[in-house]
């Protein structure tokens, strides 16, 4: 009988039953065959979370217990405070054995359900079997209790739920629009689209991960920045919304103990958060909230009620978007702040600078801007790092030359590091720079310049990375200092790669006055769009996933073993500490004049350590030239001469040019080390850049003879530098020697984490194709260099040069590779005699690799207006038995292939879609198609060009040439280019409108739409489950 298994609680007074939260009735729990779809009382709201409770009493041990549940759109279920089940796809219910979580007596089932939009509902059933094998069904129905407010302990048995109300029934299992979602229930927790369960993560040995919170996207957004406040709470920011304060569960507690509250202060859109000086510092990126756009802000609690309620604007920053302002941390002494920003953010006005030449381009030969127009007008200093006073009034530029660094981190030596971005469109070119970890020292320059102008790491006026990582998308960066981890991991630098779903542990080894690193994959997953991390005072790592409106979640990583003790420093580490001390002493002279600087620093211009030489040179450059120029002229040490020449070229006047060049010529170039030869070559180049060509023709001939004598060299980097110098000096032998070098196909080595490529089918697949068909990177540099020469060619040499492009066009590179080839040919043709151009053009043909889409098929139709919410549900419930070929055809018919790469094919005016379904939900993908203006990436944004006469042209500015802008006006046909003279341009501003037309899917019928989404979800895989019958 039922009474022997479930205690009869009907005899208790209604008041006591309510107080205990006991809402089980025998009739409902036992006789109802089907569970109801339930939701909070009243109308369901978009982007809301509802909490549910059900208390049951068991009279004896159970033989089995199976919980089956689904929620539109997602849920987490707890029994007696332990998370037992979760799901994020309403069309596929989840089921789990929960026997071990039930006890004799009272038990609590608690569920957090969330709705992203439109219809909402939770449906569930607990099937309990006693030792007599009789089954009792506990169904969702009006006996449950619901609330839209989360309170501490809501999931616990003794919680007072008297203020909770009966839920509203919205249907019965089997009813529309859901159907029978239990029919194909999957075992265990189902991943919310875009969120991996902990057991799906790849973790370093000995570490454990917990999924603490699945962020209800409609309610709490997508988290991209985090910090810990003074009370051990986390503060997180939605990329396009508000701030949230999170009280994490204590170590060992259930994830249900997490408590999250919205911070009501009018501030958000943060990409940098820091609790310091009894305030929350916020770096806003973009439009912000209540007028608090890009800038540095301080948020305070004015009345001591533990609620942040006042926002103070410390500094507005000019820049935003993906390359806008990012992180903020404390300086090593705890007295100031460091703020970092990407290369689309201007350095604040009146900022002081430690490197006097931070705003110089310093390129010997003309560069080519990106072939697709990205960052075409961005100039030095590029991305930057400033030291800022706590009141935000004083800004000091300490480091520059980055592309788009996101995070900042200090090690236990007080040394600063960041993780800089690559330009993925450059992949397969000599100017491609992989993502890399940089040691941020005073006055440092890391050489990012737009287009082909990026400085190589060997330039002595820049500094090398601690480690190159490879392709990726850098986000958060933190050291493990204070973590309850073994020493090796406690001292590691953790860098986050959003694209390839990886947290790397970078193990840094002191190397002179700096460091070199090795990498280890610490956490990885597919997908795992990691955004930021915090090492908490409880000893654990907390990291978030999300970004670009993707599904967000919060994880915790802990170590389960012994952490070990401290290890004494080795002699090498003590020596490195002394060198770092010397470097910091020299850095005290940066950004200021000091009579003691020359005496202290000059002798270190020839130091064997590169970072010491660099620090000494910046100290010297900050002093008047007349205080040290004569000392340099009398120097004999080759390193002192070369480093001093770099300083003099950057600081001196043209009048000292020839004496400087003669001094450099006194060095025996052929007898120098390869490192010295490279640095000497740069010293020559800087002299020409800053001071002009040699004024004495005999001096020019001597220079050519000296350089030509060692060209070609055995070192590939040195050959690049020598070829540029000899082209600049118009050496008569440079064409023949360089073309001869181009006959040799050197192996093209590129830094890449091949394992990580498998975690992103789209971008990873593109890189695999480049690796399988790599361009001749060294020869591409020679081709780029020779394009600048107008004279000295024989006809056969020109033909040989242009013929090289035909083979180059068969290689695979980043999306700008073909455009660069085309532009190099264009420059070279302009330098060819008019009589030879027709033949050369015919010889080359179209060697640009520009994607030319086939004429798209006509959709079968009839189309219709596809509404977001209803269509998203239709797609999710129809992903079985779809047609691959019709999906591929629909992809072309909807013009997707014209702008987007997919499975290695297609245009490139929009992002690669191959792995989009693993990162974004159906709802998100559909929303981006119907409403493309919601989020427009910097890399694909158009511009609004307003002419002096009032005419407006919308399009993507590709490049500037001969005083005119070349603008691609049709994203579906990149060859449609209009040219506007600069003299006719009034202004050029970013467009808030996506180049992608809205609602392109409205031309498709039902099957075309469903097959299109099946094709996208499959990543181009014919064997994907969506095509199975």
State whether CATH 2.30.30.100 applies to domain 868-1027.
yes
Note the pLDDT of residue 7.
35
Could you give the CA distance from residue 692 to residue 346 in angstroms, rounded to a whole number?
29
- 606: tokens are 């020839």
Could you give the CA distance from residue 264 to residue 243 in angstroms, rounded to a whole number?
8
pLDDT (mean) for 301-321 = 96
Could you give the CA distance from residue 82 to residue 68 in angstroms, rounded to a whole number?
16
Alpha helices in 523-673 (DSSP H): 571-587, 597-601, 610-621, 629-633, 638-651, 657-665
Instruction: Evaluate if residue 16 carries a pLDDT over 60.
Output: no
> pLDDT category, 558, cuts 50, 70, 90?
very high
pLDDT (mean) for 700-712 = 97
The dihedral region occupied by 482, where left means phi > 0, alpha psi between -120 and 50, and beta the remainder, is left
Could you give the CA distance from residue 496 to residue 671 in angstroms, rounded to a whole number?
44
**How remote is the C-alpha of 980 from its chain's centroid?**
34
pLDDT (mean) for 978-987 = 88
Could you give the CA distance from residue 1022 to residue 1029 in angstroms, rounded to a whole number?
13
Structure-token match 């958000």, residue found: 268
Check residues 748 and 754 and name the one with the higher pLDDT. Answer: 754
Instruction: Evaluate if residue 700 carries a pLDDT over 60.
Output: yes
Note the pLDDT of residue 27.
33
Could you give the CA distance from residue 760 to residue 916 in angstroms, rounded to a whole number?
9
Dihedral (CA of 692, 696, 701, 702) sign: negative
* Residue 87 three-state SS: strand
Q: Give percent of the chain with pLDDT exceeding 90.
A: 69
DSSP 188: S
Residues ≥6 apart with Cβ < 8 Å to 849: 809, 813, 817, 818, 819, 821
Instruction: Evaluate if residue 102 carries a pLDDT over 90.
Output: yes
Note the pLDDT of residue 21.
34
Q: Tell me the fold of 2-187.
A: Jelly Rolls (2.60.120)
> pLDDT category, 58, cuts 50, 70, 90?
very high
pLDDT (mean) for 904-922 = 73
> pLDDT category, 3, cuts 50, 70, 90?
very low
Helices (H) and strands (E) in the chain, counts: 26, 46
- 936: tokens are 């427009």
- 1004: tokens are 């498709």
**Strand partners of residue 65:** 128
- 721: tokens are 């530098």
Instruction: Evaluate if residue 74 carries a pLDDT over 80.
Output: yes
DSSP 19-82: HHT----HIIIII--SPEEEESSSS--TTEEEEEEEEEEESS-EEEEEEEEEEESEEEEEETTE
- What are the backbone angles phi and psi of residue 605, rounded to the nearest 5°? -65, -25
User: CA nearest 691: which of 664, 716, 712?
Assistant: 664
Contact by Cβ (8 Å): 760, 499: yes
Contact by Cβ (8 Å): 786, 827: no
Check residues 919 and 927 and name the one with the higher pLDDT. Answer: 927
Question: What is the rounded radius of gyration, in angstroms, for the C-alpha atoms of the chain?
Answer: 32
Note the pLDDT of residue 904.
60
Note the pLDDT of residue 47.
83
Check residues 960 and 706 and name the one with the higher pLDDT. Answer: 706
- 944: tokens are 């609004």
Note the pLDDT of residue 295.
98
* 958-962: Cβ within 8 A, 24+ apart: 958/371, 958/372, 958/373, 958/376, 959/368, 959/369, 959/370, 959/371, 959/373, 959/376, 959/823, 960/369, 960/376, 960/377
Q: How many angstroms separate the Cα of 210 from the Cα of each of 101, 274, 868?
A: 18, 24, 33
Q: How many angstroms separate the Cα of 654 from the Cα of each of 302, 617, 621, 648, 695?
A: 58, 20, 16, 10, 10
Note the pLDDT of residue 718.
98
> pLDDT category, 332, cuts 50, 70, 90?
very high
Cis peptide before 228 (omega within 30 of 0): no
- Pairing between strand 383-388 and 145-147? unpaired
Q: How many angstroms separate the Cα of 710 from the Cα of each of 218, 688, 743?
A: 64, 20, 19
Residues ≥6 apart with Cβ < 8 Å to 32: 137, 139, 141
Structure-token match 């990582």, residue found: 469
Residues ≥6 apart with Cβ < 8 Å to 108: 21, 53, 54, 55, 78, 79, 80, 81, 155, 156, 157, 159
**Strand partners of residue 107:** 56
Instruction: Evaluate if residue 184 carries a pLDDT over 90.
Output: no
Structure-token match 């002595």, residue found: 460
- 881: tokens are 């038995």
Structure-token match 């969120």, residue found: 195
Instruction: Evaluate if residue 849 carries a pLDDT over 50.
Output: no
Note the pLDDT of residue 653.
83
Other Cβ atoms closer than 10 A to 834: 7
- pTM for the full predicted model: 0.85
- 802-811 in b/e form (b: 16+ CB < 10 A) is bebbeebbeb
- Determine whether 952 is exposed, middle or buried from the number of CB atoms within 10 Å of its CB (0-12, 13-18, 19+): exposed
**Strand partners of residue 968:** 956, 977
DSSP 762-816: HHHHHHHHHHHT---HHHHHHHHHHTT--SS--HHHHHHHHHHHHHHTTS---TT
Contact by Cβ (8 Å): 316, 345: no
Q: Tell me the fold of 198-354+379-559.
A: Neuraminidase (2.120.10)
DSSP 616-637: HHHHHHTS-GGGTHHHHHT---
User: CA nearest 785: which of 841, 729, 840, 833?
Assistant: 729
> pLDDT category, 133, cuts 50, 70, 90?
low
Cis peptide before 527 (omega within 30 of 0): yes
- Pairing between strand 964-968 and 977-981? antiparallel
* Residue 249 three-state SS: coil
pLDDT tens digits, residue range 469-513?
A: 999 999 999 999 999 999 999 999 999 999 999 999 999 999 999
> pLDDT category, 602, cuts 50, 70, 90?
very high
What is the average pLDDT score of the chain? Answer: 90
Note the pLDDT of residue 14.
35
> pLDDT category, 974, cuts 50, 70, 90?
low
Least confident of 83-87, 340-344, 352-356: 83-87
Contact by Cβ (8 Å): 766, 901: yes
Could you give the CA distance from residue 388 to residue 370 in angstroms, rounded to a whole number?
33
Structure-token match 């039953």, residue found: 17
Dihedral (CA of 726, 727, 730, 736) sign: positive
pLDDT (mean) for 417-421 = 98
Note the pLDDT of residue 962.
75
Could you give the CA distance from residue 898 to residue 445 in angstroms, rounded to a whole number?
39
Note the pLDDT of residue 4.
31
Instruction: Evaluate if residue 616 carries a pLDDT over 50.
Output: yes
- What are the backbone angles phi and psi of residue 656, rounded to the nearest 5°? -95, 10
Domain ranges of the chain: 2-187, 198-354+379-559, 868-1027
Note the pLDDT of residue 18.
33
3-state helix, strand, coil in the chain (%, to 5): 30, 25, 45
pLDDT (mean) for 648-669 = 93
pLDDT (mean) for 282-300 = 96
Check residues 302 and 1017 and name the one with the higher pLDDT. Answer: 302
Instruction: Evaluate if residue 204 carries a pLDDT over 60.
Output: yes
**Strand partners of residue 110:** 53, 78
């Amino acid at each position: 009988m039922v009474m022997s298994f479930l205690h009869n609680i009907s005899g208790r007074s209604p008041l006591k039953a309510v107080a205990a939260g006991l809402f089980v009735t025998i009739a409902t729990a036992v006789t109802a065959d089907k569970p109801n779809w339930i939701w909070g009382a009243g109308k369901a709201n978009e982007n809301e979370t509802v909490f549910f409770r059900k208390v049951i009493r068991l009279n004896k041990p159970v033989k089995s217990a199976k919980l089956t549940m689904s929620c539109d759109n997602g849920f987490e279920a707890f029994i007696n405070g332990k998370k037992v089940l979760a799901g994020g796809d309403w069309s596929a219910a989840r089921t789990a054995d929960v026997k071990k979580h039930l006890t004799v007596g009272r038990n609590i089932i608690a569920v957090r359900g969330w709705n992203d939009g439109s219809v909402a509902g939770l449906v569930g059933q607990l099937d309990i079997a006693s030792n007599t094998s009789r089954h009792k069904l506990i169904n969702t129905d009006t006996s449950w209790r619901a609330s839209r407010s989360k309170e501490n302990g809501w999931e616990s048995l003794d919680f007072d739920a008297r203020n909770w109300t009966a839920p509203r029934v919205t249907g019965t299992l089997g009813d529309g629009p859901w159907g029978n979602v239990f029919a194909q229930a999957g075992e265990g927790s189902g991943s919310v689209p875009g969120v991996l369960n902990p057991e799906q993560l790849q973790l370093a040995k000995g570490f454990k991960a917990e999924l603490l919170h699945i962020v209800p996207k409609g309610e709490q957004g997508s988290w991209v920045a985090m910090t810990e406040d003074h009370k051990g709470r986390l503060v997180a920011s939605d990329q396009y919304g508000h701030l949230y304060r999170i009280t994490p569960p204590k170590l060992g507690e259930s994830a249900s103990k997490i408590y999250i509250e919205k911070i009501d202060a009018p501030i958000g859109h943060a990409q940098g958060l820091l609790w310091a000086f009894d305030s929350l510092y916020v770096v806003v990126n973009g439009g912000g909230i209540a007028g608090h756009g890009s800038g540095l802000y301080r948020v305070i609690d004015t009345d001591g009620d533990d609620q942040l309620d006042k926002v103070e604007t410390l500094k507005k920053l000019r820049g935003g978007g993906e390359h806008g302002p990012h992180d903020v941390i404390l300086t090593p002494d705890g007295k100031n702040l460091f703020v970092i920003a990407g290369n689309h953010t201007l350095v604040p006005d009146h900022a002081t600078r430690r490197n006097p030449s931070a705003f110089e381009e310093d390129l010997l030969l003309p560069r080519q801007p990106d072939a697709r127009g990205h960052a075409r007008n961005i100039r030095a200093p590029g991305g930057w790092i400033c030291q800022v006073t706590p009141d935000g009034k004083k800004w000091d530029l300490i480091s520059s030359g980055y592309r788009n660094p996101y995070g900042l981190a200090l090690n236990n030596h007080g040394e600063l590091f960041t993780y800089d971005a690559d330009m993925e469109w450059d992949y397969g070119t000599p100017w491609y720079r992989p993502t890399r970890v940089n040691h941020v020292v005073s006055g440092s320059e890391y050489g990012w310049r737009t287009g082909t102008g990026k400085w190589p790491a060997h330039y002595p006026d820049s500094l090398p990375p601690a480690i190159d990582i490879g392709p990726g998308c850098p986000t958060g960066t933190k050291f493990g200092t204070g973590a309850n981890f073994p020493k090796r991991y406690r001292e590691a630098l953790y860098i986050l790669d959003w694209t390839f779903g990886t947290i790397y542990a970078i193990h840094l080894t002191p190397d002179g006055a700096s460091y070199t690193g090795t990498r280890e994959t610490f956490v990885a997953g597919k997908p795992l769009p990691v955004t930021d991390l915090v090492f908490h005072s409880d000893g654990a790592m907390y990291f978030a996933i999300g970004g670009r409106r993707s599904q967000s979640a919060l994880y915790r990583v802990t170590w389960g073993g012994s952490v070990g003790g401290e290890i004494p420093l080795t002699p090498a580490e003590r020596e490195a500490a002394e060198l770092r001390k010397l470097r910091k002493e020299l850095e005290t002279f940066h950004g200021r004049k000091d009579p003691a600087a020359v005496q202290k620093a000059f002798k270190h211009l020839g130091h064997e350590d590169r970072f010491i030489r660099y620090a000494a040179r910046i100290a010297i450059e900050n002093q008047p030239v007349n205080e040290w120029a004569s000392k340099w002229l009398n120097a004999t040490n080759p390193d002192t001469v070369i480093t001093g020449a770099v300083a003099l070229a950057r600081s001196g006047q043209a009048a000292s040019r020839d004496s400087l060049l003669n001094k450099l010529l006194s060095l025996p170039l052929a007898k120098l080390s390869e490192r010295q030869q490279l640095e000497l070559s740069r010293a020559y180049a800087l002299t020409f850049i800053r001071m002009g060509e040699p004024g004495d023709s005999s001096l020019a001939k001597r220079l050519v003879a000296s350089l030509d004598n060692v060209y070609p060299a055995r070192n590939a980097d040195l050959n690049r530098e020598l070829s540029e110098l000899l082209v600049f000096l118009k050496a008569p032998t440079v064409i023949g020697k360089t073309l001869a070098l181009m006959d040799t196909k050197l192996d093209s080595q590129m830094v890449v984490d091949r394992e990580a490529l498998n975690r992103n089918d789209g971008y990873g697949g593109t890189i695999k194709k480049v690796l399988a068909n790599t361009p001749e990177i060294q020869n591409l540099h020679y081709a780029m260099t020779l394009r600048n020469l107008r004279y000295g060619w024989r006809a056969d040499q020109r033909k040989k040069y242009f013929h090289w492009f035909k083979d180059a066009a068969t290689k695979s590179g980043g999306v700008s590779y073909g455009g660069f080839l085309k532009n190099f040919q264009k420059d070279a043709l302009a330098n060819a005699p008019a009589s030879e151009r027709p033949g050369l053009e015919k010889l080359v043909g179209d060697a640009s690799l520009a994607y030319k889409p086939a004429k798209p098929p006509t959709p079968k139709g009839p189309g219709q207006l596809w509404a977001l919410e209803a269509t998203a549900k239709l797609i999710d419930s129809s992903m079985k038995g779809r047609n691959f070929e019709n999906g591929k055809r629909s992809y072309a018919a909807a013009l997707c292939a014209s702008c987007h790469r997919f499975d290695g094919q297609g245009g490139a005016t929009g992002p690669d879609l191959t792995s989009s379904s693993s990162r974004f939900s159906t709802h998100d993908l559909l929303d981006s198609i119907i409403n493309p203006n919601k989020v427009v990436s910097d890399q694909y944004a158009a511009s609004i060009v307003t002419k002096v006469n009032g005419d407006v042209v919308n399009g993507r500015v590709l490049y500037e040439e001969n005083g005119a802008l070349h603008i691609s006006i049709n994203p579906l046909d990149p060859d449609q280019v209009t040219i506007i003279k600069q003299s006719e341009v009034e202004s050029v501003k970013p467009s808030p409108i996506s180049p992608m037309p809205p609602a392109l899917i409205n031309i498709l019928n039902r099957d075309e739409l469903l097959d299109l989404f099946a094709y996208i979800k499959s990543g181009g895989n014919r064997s994907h489950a969506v095509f199975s019958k």
